[in-house]
Amino acid sequence: MLAQIYLPVYNNSFTINDCLSSVLPQLSADIRLYIQDDKSTDGSVSIINDLIQDHLHLTTFVCNTVNRGLSANLHDYLMLTTAEYVFRMDADDIALPNRFLRQLSVLLTHPQIDLLGGQAYQFRTHISFSSCTKKPTTTKAIIKQLASNPFIHPTVAYKAESIRRVGNYNPKIRFGQDYELWFRCAYHQLSMHNMDEPLIYLRLSPKDKYTLSTYYTEFCMGIRGSILCRLSFDQYILVVFRFIYYCIFLCFRKAIVMLCLSKPSQQRA
């Protein structure tokens, strides 16, 4: 198998239709789809089964009997897949037309590339109101920005063997598994690039998925990764400021929510 899209699903009943509607038309004999449901409880499985009926010959759909988390699922998938190239895609995002073919063309014409990401249009409620990311495009520039996470995980495509060679995803890391992996990719001197064009519509969650604890975990990953790759001092400073920024942002959002919740009670009083 030349290439396969890995699409994890967990309670994505409200977004999976938009996602698969953008992915399924792009499948071919060279680009197939692997969907893994992590024991959803919201009807996602039924929706997926209906959507893939006309693409069963190009699609593999598996359902976990227990919820295992993205890191463990990614790790085990990469250990078993026979695909030479793996694309990442998330169930709440939307692929741009020919996204996978464009990336595969770059990888095939530049076989030295191990890891290839791209830009994304970010949106919250409607894709017509979006902004585009500006991630670094060359290996040198990517390494300079390792501390700030230079890749958008659902845009990446990589050689499966290259990711296995650097140790695969760490199944014990529940959040920030991609951030930790990029440091190891840099340490093992993989050829890493980002395309200078958007590949997906990246849906921004209205709720903060992270807590202070998960931000602290990523902070520790950043420090350890910076030491591992012997990054410059300004990278350490960036890791620290990244942690402080997200902590302030999270506290600010919680304060706003509490303020909004308190207003109705004050009005009733």
Which of 3-7, 140-144, 170-174, 233-237 shows the lowest per-residue confidence on average (mean pLDDT)?
233-237
Q: Residues 195, 64: one domain?
A: yes
Give the tens place of pLDDT for each residue, 200-255. 999 987 555 667 788 888 889 999 999 999 998 888 888 888 888 878 877 776 67
The pTM assigned to this predicted structure is 0.89
pLDDT of residue 208: 59
CATH number of the domain bearing residue 53: 3.90.550.10
Among the candidates 173, 206, 239, a domain finishes at 206
User: Please, what is the Cα angle at 2 between 76 and 187, to 5 degrees?
Assistant: 55
Among the candidates 163, 180, 206, a domain finishes at 206
Domain count, the chain: 2
Q: Residues 185, 211: one domain?
A: no
Domain with 130 in it: 3-206
pLDDT of residue 245: 83
Q: How far apart are CA 240 and CA 138, in angstroms?
A: 24
Q: Residues 218, 114: one domain?
A: no
What's the chain look like in SS3?
Answer: CCEEEEEEECCCCCCHHHHHHHHHHHCCCCEEEEEEECCCCCCHHHHHHHHCHHHHHHEEEEECCCCCCHHHHHHHHHHHCCCCEEEECCCCCEECCCHHHHHHHHHHHCCCCCEEEEEEEEECCCCCCCEECCCCCCHHHHHHCHHHCCCCHHHCEEEHHHHHHCCCCCCCCCCCHHHHHHHHHHHCCCCEEEEEEEEEEEECCCCCCCCHHHHHHHHHHHHHHHHHCCCCHHHHHHHHHHHHHHHHHHHHHHHHHHHHHHHHHHHHC
Q: Residues 87, 28: one domain?
A: yes
Give the tens place of pLDDT for each residue, 114-166. 999 999 999 987 666 678 999 999 999 999 999 889 999 999 999 999 999 99
Over 90: is that where the pLDDT of 85 sits?
Answer: yes
Q: β-strand 59-63 against 31-37: which pairing, if any?
A: parallel
Q: Per the structure block, which two tokens stand in for 17?
A: 């239709």
Exposure letters 96-132 (e unless 16+ CB within 10 A, then b): beebbebbbeebeeeeebbbbbbbbbbbeeeeeebee
Q: Residues 201, 230: one domain?
A: no
Q: Residues 167, 104: one domain?
A: yes
Q: Residues 42, 152: one domain?
A: yes
Torsion of CA 215, 219, 225, 230, to 10 degrees: 150
pLDDT of residue 129: 67
Give the tens place of pLDDT for each residue, 30-62. 999 999 999 999 999 999 999 999 999 999 999
Q: Residues 128, 10: one domain?
A: yes
% of residues, the chain, pLDDT over 90 = 74
Q: Residues 32, 63: one domain?
A: yes
Over 80: is that where the pLDDT of 96 sits?
Answer: yes
Q: Residues 9, 104: one domain?
A: yes
Give the tens place of pLDDT for each residue, 182-197. 999 999 999 999 999 9
Measuring CA to CA, how many Å separate 230 from each of 189, 223, 225? 13, 10, 8
Q: β-strand 85-88 against 157-159: which pairing, if any?
A: antiparallel
